[in-house]
């Protein structure tokens, strides 16, 4: 598990680590399973013939609570599931729950929640670092804690099959960012599992649904779980499951309802009985359990009692009606509506065009949730009902089992004709000159996906190029999320516009990004795999798309100004260089005067911020320099042909003229140590015989 662990009791005091437990469990090949690693509960499933089936645990229940406790009374020094829940109530400092909310996050992301968690952070933790928790005498990261849950699921499956299990498909929220996805894969590796694929939870639910229902149509999957919310719009046709839009909030779920009700009860107890429950961690956990039981009871009943023995003869009792409950949680439920409406807009659909709505996640059992969703999609007026026939707790694991069967390569009539097409939730691109975002892979593109674009340099003799990879929907780089930076070095010095730099973005089936850059004439190449950045908040991911709409007009104007100024400066530099050539001497005095006047006009326009004025000045200068450009071209060609063979003349012309950049998205200046000129690359002008500048692989 790592040197940071402190083995202080139980099995850990005997020196048995999680890694050693994995080693003991065996590593030979076995069945491929599907795992729903949930915030509140986790499940593991497999394909039994043509039917996906969940695997029961030691207690006979297929649901394993996502709670891990460290207890010297157990054989291994730790327990997972219901046994760990008992430790949470009696010795809360030794237990962890809802760790999925901490995956791929850092200190600044969770400060508001720390007061409700019984566990403590490591003392030497710094902002930007992966979280470390002090639990039961150990210092563990969220992926390490999740690995204990996965190991328990793995053991359940191995007990069920009587054979080792080493390969799995694990589900994640559709809106998990790269850090959260990588953390999930890390947890699988720590638990001794080869993670064949990370599948978005709503997509997994659609797999299970499509398999059972065997029908075509447009389906919305509303996934409201313990810690995350996802909405996905899918098209199902002849076995092809295509995600056409996705959205959500990776920090919104049933836990938020539990935390709200717990906070209300804590205030009640403090005000009515004068007891500060927050100073007694075990009481907080007992209260939280009582709140969860009350929430569950109100899904089927009109009222329930919330009660807790506070000790010393004090007892808290409160009657709660479903109406009161729904009023309290209404703001939380309403937060799911905006991503749903945005997903519909992204898909280009109206609510009445959705054929079916599938409900996933334990929180969808709440009647107010079902009422809200039915209203959003106008189901009652259309004589339709929500799909709740599949167990909302199990459907994601069942879908993961279907995907696991597909990836296993084994023949199965139920999955042979199935195909899963997932999407990337945010656009990917590169920072361009002036700080604008040049998109290469668009939001909601089907993954796996790759796209290639060609760029060139903007400065003579440029040898280095810096690539800044971005994610987001805004027009300016500063408003998008920075994913990675890397340099393409060693480009042979050439005239500006001559190098052809191929930039390729590749997203694999897990949503992990790789970026490469190659100068095609010299063969110089550089690449990077985007590493997780734990400092991103989920709120930033959720609002990226909404911000892009709120600021669309302002962003577009800023981009147009930047691009117009870039083009204007490029033309001014070309004219300045041309005045020193022989062609300049062949122009008349009137032509000189007209060009100088147009240059002055363009320079003046660049001092302002109106892109239309700049464009007008560029057009004027372009008209005044057309004969000048023709003379320069004739002079260059004549010089190249003089005394040379046709082959040699072709090389000379290429070296003299290059491929002048005219595209509107030049790259930003490169970062380098030794050069007098800033390294700039510009998007290359498309070959007239090759339409388009981007190649979709």
Residue 145 contacts by C-beta under 8 Å, 6 or more apart in sequence?
68, 96, 99, 133, 135
Q: Which of 46-50, 277-281, 471-475, 514-518 has the lowest mean pLDDT?
A: 471-475
Rounded Cα distance between 601 and 113, Å, is: 58
Across the range 378-389, mean pLDDT stands at 88
Token digits of residue 114? 């720390």
Across the range 671-693, mean pLDDT stands at 37
Q: Note whether 206 and 399 are within 8 A (CB).
A: yes
Q: Note whether 45 and 61 are within 8 A (CB).
A: no
The rounded percent of the chain whose pLDDT value lies above 90 is 21
What's the pLDDT score for residue 494?
81
Confidence of residue 566 (pLDDT cuts 50, 70, 90): confident
Q: Using one digit for the tens of pLDDT, what is the confidence trace for 456-490?
A: 776 778 888 778 888 777 778 777 777 777 778 88
* Statement: residue 694 has pLDDT above 60: no
* Averaged pLDDT of the chain: 76
* Statement: residue 229 has pLDDT above 80: yes
Q: Note whether 198 and 400 are within 8 A (CB).
A: no
What's the pLDDT score for residue 375?
94
Rounded Cα distance between 669 and 675, Å, is: 12
Q: Which of 211-225, 248-262, 567-581, 671-685 has the highest mean pLDDT?
A: 248-262
Rounded Cα distance between 252 and 392, Å, is: 17
* CA quadruple 340, 342, 348, 352: dihedral sign: positive
Q: Which of 45-49, 433-437, 660-664 has the lowest mean pLDDT?
A: 660-664
What's the pLDDT score for residue 296?
92
Rounded Cα distance between 656 and 497, Å, is: 11
| Element containing residue 619 per DSSP (H, E) | helix 611-624
Higher-pLDDT residue of 577 and 686 is 577
Higher-pLDDT residue of 87 and 671 is 87
Confidence of residue 688 (pLDDT cuts 50, 70, 90): very low
Q: Note whether 33 and 22 are within 8 A (CB).
A: no
Across the range 651-657, mean pLDDT stands at 42
Confidence of residue 2 (pLDDT cuts 50, 70, 90): very low
Across the range 504-530, mean pLDDT stands at 75
Q: Note whether 435 and 676 are within 8 A (CB).
A: no
Q: Using one digit for the tens of pLDDT, what is the confidence trace for 339-378?
A: 999 999 988 999 999 988 989 888 999 999 999 999 999 9
Higher-pLDDT residue of 661 and 236 is 236
What letters, b where the CB count within 10 A reaches 16 and e where it falls short, cover 269-300?
beeeeebebeeebebbbbbbbbbbebbebbbe
Q: Note whether 45 and 34 are within 8 A (CB).
A: yes
Rounded Cα distance between 666 and 126, Å, is: 37
Q: Which of 39-48, 564-573, 616-625 has the highest mean pLDDT?
A: 39-48
Residue 281 contacts by C-beta under 8 Å, 6 or more apart in sequence?
92, 93, 118
Rounded Cα distance between 283 and 89, Å, is: 8
Q: C-alpha angle with apex 44: 39 to 48, nearest 5 degrees? A: 150
Q: Judge if pTM exceeds 0.85.
A: no
Q: Note whether 106 and 77 are within 8 A (CB).
A: no
Query: Is 100 among the catalytic positions?
Result: yes
Q: Using one digit for the tens of pLDDT, what is the confidence trace for 421-462?
A: 555 667 888 887 677 787 888 776 766 777 777 777 767 788
Rounded alpha-carbon distances, angstroms, from residue 609 to 547, 557, 559, 600: 23, 9, 11, 16
Higher-pLDDT residue of 274 and 677 is 274
Confidence of residue 68 (pLDDT cuts 50, 70, 90): very high
Token digits of residue 586? 């062949």
Q: Note whether 661 and 567 are within 8 A (CB).
A: no
> What domains does the chain contain, in order, with CATH numbers?
10-200+394-410 (3.30.420.40), 254-331 (3.90.640.10)
Secondary structure of residue 254 in the 3-state scheme: helix
What's the pLDDT score for residue 33?
95
* Statement: residue 538 has pLDDT above 60: no
Token digits of residue 101? 């909310």
What's the pLDDT score for residue 665?
36
**Which residue carries 């107890």 as its tokens?**
269
Secondary structure of residue 113 in the 3-state scheme: helix
What's the pLDDT score for residue 322?
94
What's the pLDDT score for residue 668?
38
In DSSP terms, 237 is beta-bridged to 240
The one catalytic residue in 71, 76, 100, 563 is: 100
Higher-pLDDT residue of 164 and 556 is 164
What's the pLDDT score for residue 239?
61
Across the range 64-92, mean pLDDT stands at 82
* Statement: residue 174 has pLDDT above 60: yes
* Statement: residue 225 has pLDDT above 80: yes
Q: C-alpha angle with apex 622: 616 to 628, nearest 5 degrees? A: 160
Secondary structure of residue 501 in the 3-state scheme: strand
3-state secondary structure 333-392: HHCCHHHHHHHHHHHCCCHHHCCEEEEECHHHHCHHHHHHHHHHCCCHHHCCCCECCCCC
Query: Is 350 among the catalytic positions?
Result: no
Q: Using one digit for the tens of pLDDT, what is the confidence trace for 85-139?
A: 888 878 878 888 889 888 887 777 677 666 666 677 887 777 667 788 888 778 8
Confidence of residue 328 (pLDDT cuts 50, 70, 90): very high
The one catalytic residue in 36, 255, 356, 393 is: 36
**Which residue carries 């690693």 as its tokens?**
37
* Statement: residue 640 has pLDDT above 60: no
* Statement: residue 402 has pLDDT above 80: yes
* Statement: residue 270 has pLDDT above 80: yes
Token digits of residue 237? 């046709």
The one catalytic residue in 71, 158, 178, 201 is: 201
| C-alpha distance across the termini of the chain, in Å | 40
Across the range 592-603, mean pLDDT stands at 90
What's the pLDDT score for residue 41?
92
Higher-pLDDT residue of 208 and 421 is 208
Q: Note whether 76 and 21 are within 8 A (CB).
A: yes
The one catalytic residue in 109, 144, 178, 223 is: 223
Q: Note whether 254 and 40 are within 8 A (CB).
A: yes
Q: Using one digit for the tens of pLDDT, what is the confidence trace for 610-635?
A: 888 988 888 888 888 888 877 877 76
**Which residue carries 């039994």 as its tokens?**
48
């Amino acid at each position: 598990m790592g040197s940071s662990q402190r083995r202080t009791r139980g099995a850990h005091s005997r020196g048995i680590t999680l890694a050693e437990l994995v080693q003991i469990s065996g590593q030979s090949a076995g069945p491929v399973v599907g795992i729903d690693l949930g915030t509140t509960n986790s499940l593991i499933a497999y394909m039994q013939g043509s039917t996906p089936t969940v695997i029961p645990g030691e207690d006979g229940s297929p649901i394993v609570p996502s709670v891990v406790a460290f207890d010297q009374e157990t054989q291994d020094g730790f327990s997972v599931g219901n046994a760990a829940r008992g430790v949470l109530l009696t010795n809360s400092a030794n237990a962890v729950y809802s760790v999925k909310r901490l995956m791929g996050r850092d200190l600044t992301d969770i400060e508001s929640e720390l007061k409700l968690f019984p566990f403590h952070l490591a003392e030497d933790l710094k902002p930007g670092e992966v979280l470390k928790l002090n639990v039961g005498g150990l210092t563990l990261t969220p992926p390490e804690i999740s690995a204990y849950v996965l190991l328990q699921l793995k053991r359940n499956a191995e007990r069920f099959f009587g054979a080792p299990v080493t390969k799995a498909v694990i589900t994640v929220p559709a809106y998990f960012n790269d850090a959260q996805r990588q953390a999930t894969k890390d947890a699988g590796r720590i638990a001794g599992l080869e993670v064949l694929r990370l599948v978005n939870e709503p997509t997994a639910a659609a797999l299970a649904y499509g398999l059972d229902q065997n029908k075509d149509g447009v389906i919305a999957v509303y996934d409201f779980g313990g810690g995350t919310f996802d909405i996905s719009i899918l098209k199902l046709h002849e076995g092809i499951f295509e995600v056409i839009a996705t959205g959500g909030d990776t920090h919104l779920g049933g836990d938020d309802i539990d935390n709200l009700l717990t906070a209300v009860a804590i205030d009640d107890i403090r005000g009515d009985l004068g007891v500060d429950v927050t100073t007694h961690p075990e009481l907080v956990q007992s209260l939280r359990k009582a709140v969860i039981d009350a929430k569950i009871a109100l899904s089927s009943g009109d009222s329930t009692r919330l009660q807790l023995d506070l000790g010393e003869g004090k007892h808290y009792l409160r009657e709660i009606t479903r109406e009161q409950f729904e009023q309290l949680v209404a703001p939380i439920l309403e937060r799911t509506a905006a991503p749903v409406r945005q997903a519909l807009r992204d898909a280009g659909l109206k609510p009445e065009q959705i054929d079916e709505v599938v409900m996933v996640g334990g929180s969808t059992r709440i009647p107010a949730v079902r009422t809200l969703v039915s209203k959003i999609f106008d189901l009652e007026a259309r004589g339709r009902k929500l799909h709740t026939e599949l167990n909302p707790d199990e459907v994601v694991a069942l879908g993961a089992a279907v995907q696991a069967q597909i990836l296993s390569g084994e023949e199965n009539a139920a999955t042979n004709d199935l195909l899963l097409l997932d999407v990337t939730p945010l656009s990917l691109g590169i920072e361009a000159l002036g700080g604008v975002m040049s998109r290469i892979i668009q939001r909601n593109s089907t993954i796996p996906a790759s796209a290639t674009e060609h760029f060139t340099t903007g400065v003579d003799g440029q040898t280095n190029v810096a690539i800044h990879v971005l994610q987001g929907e805004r027009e300016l780089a500063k408003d998008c999320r920075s994913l990675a930076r890397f340099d393409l070095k060693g480009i042979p010095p050439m005239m500006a516009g001559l190098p052809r730099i191929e930039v390729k973005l590749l997203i694999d089936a897990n949503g992990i990004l790789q970026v490469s850059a190659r100068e095609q004439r010299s063969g110089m190449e550089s690449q990077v795999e985007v590493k997780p950045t734990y400092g991103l908040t989920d709120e930033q991911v959720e609002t990226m798309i909404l911000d892009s709409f709120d600021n669309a007009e302002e962003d577009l104007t800023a981009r147009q100004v930047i691009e117009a100024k870039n083009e204007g400066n490029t033309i001014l530099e070309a004219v300045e260089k041309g005045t020193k050539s022989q062609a300049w001497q062949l122009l008349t005095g009137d032509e000189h005067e007209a060009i100088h006047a147009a240059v002055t006009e363009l320079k003046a326009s660049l001092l302002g911020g109106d892109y239309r004025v700049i464009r007008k000045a560029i057009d004027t200068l372009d008209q005044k320099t057309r004969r000048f450009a023709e003379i320069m071209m004739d002079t260059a060609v004549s010089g190249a042909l003089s005394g040379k063979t046709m082959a040699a003349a072709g090389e000379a012309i290429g070296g003299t003229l290059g491929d002048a950049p005219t595209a509107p998205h030049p790259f930003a200046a490169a970062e380098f140590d030794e050069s007098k000129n800033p390294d700039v690359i510009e998007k290359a002008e498309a070959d007239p015989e090759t339409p388009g500048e981007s190649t979709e692989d």
